[in-house]
């Protein structure tokens, strides 16, 4: 994985520095901040699963946690955000995620276990930059007048919808990766482990 733009590198470094100093809340996000619990630095460096409390993640919010050195996004999608996926279906290059960028239990129209909660690795599948969230719709997003919300990679302009599916004719070849994950109750997600223990 490489980092190809100063802005992006800064963001990645901030994520790492935050986790290393604080050791508790490794969260970097442009939208409302929600604290989460992370394991020790030693456990993280060994690739341990990360437990995340999403009880305070309101509809429309996103949080970022670090797992195996990668930013993982958790987004609580609104009904409008979910509805946008039907509109983007014909515009993305792999609408059914047939390239297998997600576990089998997320191979569905929302690419998630619970329809509203998207868990995705926030690394562009082109050259590894961190895309930015662009949840505002239309011209206000700064992406396009008909933008339905999603993610924009500042390095070479790849765009992704709110299921992390890459639009057609973009530099990025694949949808964003969905990591193995599972729920412990309603409000806790374990990233890096699933019922099949495949991570």
Tell me which of 4, 126, 156, 181 is the catalytic residue.
156
Task: Kindly state the smallest distance separating residue 131's Cβ from ligand FES, in Å.
Answer: 7
Burial of 18 (0-12, 13-18, 19+ CB in 10 A): middle
Q: Pattern of binders to ligand FES over 129-168, x per CB under 6 A?
A: x-----------------------x-xxxx----------
Cβ nearer to ligand FES, comparing 8 with 194: 8
Shortest gap between Cβ of 167 and ligand FES (angstroms)?
11
β-sheet bridge partners, residue 20: none
| Cα–Cα nearest to 29, from 50, 42, 11 | 11
Count CB atoms within 10 A of the CB of residue 150.
26
- 151-181 burial string, b = 16+ CB within 10 Å, else e? bbbbbeebbbbbbbbbeeebebebbbbbbbb
Minimum CB–partner distance for residue 84 and ligand FES (Å): 21
Structure tokens at 195: 């019922």
Among 108, 109, 171, 188, binds ligand FES (CB under 6 A): 171
Contact status: 3 vs ligand FES (CB under 6 A):
no
**Site for ligand FES contains 114 (CB under 6 A):** no
> Cβ–Cβ contacts within 10 Å for residue 64, how many?
24
Decide if 126 is catalytic. no
* Selection from 7, 13, 60, 12 nearest residue 32 by Cα: 60
Nearer to ligand FES, 78 or 141 (CB): 141
Binding part of the chain for ligand FES, among 29-37, 72-80, 84-92, 120-128 by CB under 6 A, reads 120-128
**For ligand FES, the closer CB: 73 or 76:** 73
What is the footprint of ligand FES within residues 175-194 (CB under 6 A)? none
- Report CA-CA distances (Å) from 9 to 51, 93, 148, 151: 26, 27, 27, 17
Q: Write down the least CB distance from residue 121 to ligand FES, Å.
A: 13
Residues that bind ligand FES (CB under 6 A): 124, 126-129, 153, 155-158, 171-172
């Amino acid at each position: 994985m490489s980092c190809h733009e100063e802005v992006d590198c800064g963001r990645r470094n901030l994520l790492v520095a935050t986790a290393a100093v604080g050791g508790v809340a490794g969260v970097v996000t442009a939208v409302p901040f929600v604290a989460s619990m992370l394991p020790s630095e030693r456990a993280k460096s060994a690739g341990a699963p990360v437990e995340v409390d999403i009880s305070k993640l309101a509809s429309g919010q996103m949080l970022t946690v670090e797992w195996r050195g990668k930013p993982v996004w958790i987004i609580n999608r609104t009904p409008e955000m979910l509805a946008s996926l039907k509109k983007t279906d014909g515009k993305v290059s792999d609408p059914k995620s047939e390239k297998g960028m997600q576990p089998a239990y997320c191979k569905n129209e929302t690419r998630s276990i619970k329809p509203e909660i998207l868990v995705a690795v926030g690394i562009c599948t082109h050259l590894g930059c961190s895309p930015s969230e662009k949840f505002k719709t239309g011209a206000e997003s700064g992406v396009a007048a008909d933008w339905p919300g999603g993610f924009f990679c500042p390095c070479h302009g790849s765009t992704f919808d709110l299921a992390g599916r890459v639009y057609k004719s973009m530099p990025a070849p694949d949808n964003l990766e969905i990591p193995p994950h599972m729920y412990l109750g309603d409000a806790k997600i374990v990233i890096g482990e699933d019922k099949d223990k495949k991570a």
